[in-house]
């Protein structure tokens, strides 16, 4: 349950313990899948991403270092990189909306991780308070992982200003969050 | 100079730089505290964003599929550095390669996909593999039916010619079962005149035992090069020697099919 456990499980996986891999899988399956789905809007690709992430963990590609932060953050970063990688490999245009609408109907799904439960709704509502352009910038930069040049084209910005816009949008988001609840507590490790 | 590098932070964070630029940026990072701080800030500001995702229900059977693939995913080429003999141990776990930094992953090589690997490199890799095996002398010499394709197949158990099916009449190739020097068995497939693939599609090799037709054994995937050639060598992770009745290659929508979904394009009896 605790982060402390995650690091231990991870170490056991590194020495070949399949059971520990399964425990990590059970704990993070849903957030990983949901995050991948958030980025790809595509069910098969999302499953592929979750699989890739666990292949990477099993093979010890990329190493989790407890001193550098939470296991969940590390894991989700790997997932994000995997999605970006996958989307770049696919030359076909992204799947986009096709599934997202139909997906909304089978809802009733809930967050299962504590930190997800705590932060999910707040984050979504904080994002919704941002201006449209800032929301889109976060979408393009973070959830689509597109290049600086493409962001510049998409928003008709000089290349040199993209980074500033991204930081500004993210900082606004952070402010919106702290207004909501007076600070973002860190869930420890 | 610094300005130039400052402009790369976003692309570095998103892994959009090529290897050279990425390394150059990392070098710059080591020297420039401003960029380091900006990168850390970017990480901190985005750290919780994944939790903004609406919960989505994973598809049924995902866990089983993923675990089957995670443990089965052992293709030659991925683990060239790993001694192959370990494959025979049921609890074998590849040693972790702890080189890459967790975030971001600047060089994004997907070694699983054989995309971009051309026919000749694959062929040479397979030939080299075979000739290495040839050095470890074979117990199966009496079964072998003679060399094919100019490759030393002294350790071959069996070599068959693959014929194109209705779905791909021009396709042809060879499949060779070879005894590895540690007592395992590898299957090496070389094929040509195959159709190009798009998207995530792959050609998947299957070994079929008539007694267990519903559960063919996955034995490697490959993607052809521009000339329609492709090859894969796959070391089987089976506790003991198994005899197979048929080898078939299908066209699959993704590299993750646990059972054949697409048409058979090449096959042969074994």
pLDDT at B206 over 80: yes
For testing contact with chain B, the best of A55, A114, A117, A135 (most B CBs within 10 A): A55
What is the reported pLDDT for A27?
95
Contact A38 B200 (CB under 8 A): no
- A184 Cβ neighbours under 8 A, 6+ residues apart: A174, A177, A178, B48
∠ CA B254-B259-B261, rounded to 5°: 60
Contact B56 A147 (CB under 8 A): no
Listed in sequence order, the DSSP H helices in B93-249 are 119-135
**Gap from A46 CA to chain B (nearest CA, Å):** 9
What is the reported pLDDT for B92?
36
Maximum mean pLDDT: which of A69-78, B191-200, B211-220: A69-78
Q: Which of A14-18, A78-82, A108-112, B174-178 has the lowest mean pLDDT?
A: A108-112
Q: Which of A96-100, A124-128, B34-38, B256-260 has the lowest mean pLDDT?
A: A96-100
pLDDT at B260 over 90: no
Confidence band, pLDDT 50/70/90 cuts, at residue B158: confident
Question: Any idea what DSSP says for residue B75?
Answer: B
Which phi-psi region, left, alpha or beta, contains residue B260 (left: φ > 0; alpha: ψ -120 to 50)? beta
Q: Which of A111-120, B162-171, B220-229, B234-243 has the lowest mean pLDDT?
A: B234-243
pLDDT at A102 over 50: no
- B157 Cβ neighbours under 8 A, 6+ residues apart: B140, B143, B144, B177, B178, B179, B185
pLDDT at A92 over 90: no
Exposed e or buried b for every residue in A60-80, given b needs 16+ CB within 10 A?
bbbbbebeebbbbbbbbbbbb
Average pLDDT across chain A, whole number: 85
DSSP string, A117-176: HHHHHHHHHHHHHS-HHHHHHHIIIIIS---HHHHHHHHT--GGGHHHHHHHHHHHHHHH
Please, are residues B83 and B193 in contact by the beta-carbon 8 Å criterion?
no
pLDDT at A98 over 80: no
pLDDT at B237 over 80: no
Query: Which residues from A are below 8 Å from B47, CB to CB?
Result: 69, 73
User: For B20-28, what is the mean pLDDT?
Assistant: 93
Q: Helices H, strands E: what count in chain B?
A: 6, 8
pLDDT in tens, B93-140: 333 433 333 433 333 333 433 343 444 445 555 555 555 454 443 334
Average pLDDT across chain B, whole number: 72
* Cβ atoms within 10 Å of A35's Cβ, excluding its own: 28
Inter-axis angle of helices A162-181 and A114-129, nearest 10: 110
Q: Which of B63-67, B84-88, B123-127 has the lowest mean pLDDT?
A: B84-88
What is the reported pLDDT for B130?
54
Q: d(Cα B165, Cα A98) in Å, to the nearest integer?
A: 35
**Gap from A83 CA to chain B (nearest CA, Å):** 11
Confidence band, pLDDT 50/70/90 cuts, at residue B221: confident
What is the reported pLDDT for A108?
54
Confidence band, pLDDT 50/70/90 cuts, at residue A52: very high
Confidence band, pLDDT 50/70/90 cuts, at residue B147: very low
What is the reported pLDDT for B126?
57
Contact A55 B70 (CB under 8 A): yes
What is the reported pLDDT for B5?
72
Contact A116 B42 (CB under 8 A): no
What is the reported pLDDT for B125?
55
pLDDT at B89 over 90: no
Tell me which residue of B201, B202, B195, B250 sits closest to B228, measured CA to CA: B195
Counting residues of chain B whose pLDDT is more than 90, the rounded percentage is 25
Question: Any idea what DSSP says for residue A67?
Answer: G
What number of residues does chain A have?
189
**Could you say which of B6, B47, B54 has the minimum Cβ distance to residue A34?**
B54
Q: List phi, psi (to 5°) of B217.
A: -95, 130
Confidence band, pLDDT 50/70/90 cuts, at residue A96: very low
**Gap from B244 CA to chain A (nearest CA, Å):** 28
pLDDT at B143 over 90: no
Tell me which residue of A112, A108, A98, A117 sits closest to A40, measured CA to CA: A98
Q: List phi, psi (to 5°) of A50.
A: -60, -40
Contact A120 B53 (CB under 8 A): yes
Tell me which residue of B111, B81, B158 sits closest to A56, measured CA to CA: B111
What is the reported pLDDT for A148?
93
- Provide the token pair at A143: 């959830």
Q: List phi, psi (to 5°) of B201.
A: -65, 150
Strand partners, B234: B75, B187
Please, are residues A81 and B117 in contact by the beta-carbon 8 Å criterion?
no
């Amino acid at each position: 349950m605790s982060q402390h456990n995650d690091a231990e499980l991870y170490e056991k996986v590194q020495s070949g313990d399949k059971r520990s891999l399964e425990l990590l899988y059970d704990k993070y399956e849903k957030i990983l899948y949901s995050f991948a789905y958030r980025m790809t809007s595509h069910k098969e690709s999302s499953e592929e991403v979750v699989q890739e992430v666990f292949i990477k963990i099993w093979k010890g590609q990329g190493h989790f270092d407890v001193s550098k932060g939470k296991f969940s953050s590390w894991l989700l970063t790997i997932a994000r990189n995997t999605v970006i990688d996958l989307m770049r490999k696919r030359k076909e245009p992204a799947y986009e909306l096709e599934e997202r609408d139909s997906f909304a109907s089978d809802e009733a799904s809930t967050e299962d991780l504590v930190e997800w439960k705590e932060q999910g709704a707040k984050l979504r509502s904080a994002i919704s308070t941002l201006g449209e352009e800032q929301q889109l910038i976060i979408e393009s930069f973070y959830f689509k992982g597109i290049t600086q040049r493409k962001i510049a084209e998409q928003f008709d910005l000089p290349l040199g200003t993209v980074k500033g816009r991204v930081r500004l949008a993210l900082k606004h988001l952070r402010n919106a969050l702290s207004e909501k609840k007076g600070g973002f507590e860190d869930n420890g490790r | 100079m610094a300005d130039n590098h400052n402009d790369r932070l976003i692309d570095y964070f998103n892994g959009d730089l090529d290897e050279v630029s990425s390394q150059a940026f990392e070098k710059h990072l080591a020297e420039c505290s401003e960029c380091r701080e900006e990168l850390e800030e970017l990480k901190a500001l985005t750290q919780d964003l994944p939790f903004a995702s609406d919960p989505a229900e994973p598809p049924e059977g995902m866990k089983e599929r993923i675990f089957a693939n995670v443990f089965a995913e052992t293709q030659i080429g991925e683990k060239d550095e790993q001694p192959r003999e370990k494959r025979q141990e049921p609890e074998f776990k590849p040693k972790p390669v702890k080189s890459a930094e967790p975030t971001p992953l600047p060089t994004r090589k997907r070694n699983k996909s054989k995309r971009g690997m051309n026919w000749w490199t694959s062929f040479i890799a397979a030939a080299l593999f075979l000739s290495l095996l040839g050095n470890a002398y074979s117990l199966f010499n009496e079964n072998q039916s003679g060399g094919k394709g100019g490759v030393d197949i002294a350790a071959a158990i069996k070599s068959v010619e693959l014929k194109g099916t209705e779905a791909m009449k021009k396709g042809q190739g060879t499949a060779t079962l070879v005894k590895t020097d540690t007592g395992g068995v590898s299957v090496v497939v070389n094929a040509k005149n195959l159709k190009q693939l798009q998207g995530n599609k792959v050609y998947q090799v299957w070994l079929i035992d008539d007694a267990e037709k519903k559960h063919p054994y996955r034995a490697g995937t490959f993607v052809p090069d521009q000339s329609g050639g492709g090859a894969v060598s796959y070391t089987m992770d089976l506790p003991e020697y198994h005899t197979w009745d048929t080898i078939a290659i299908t066209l699959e929508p993704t590299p993750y099919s646990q059972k054949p979904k697409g048409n058979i394009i090449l096959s042969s009896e074994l």
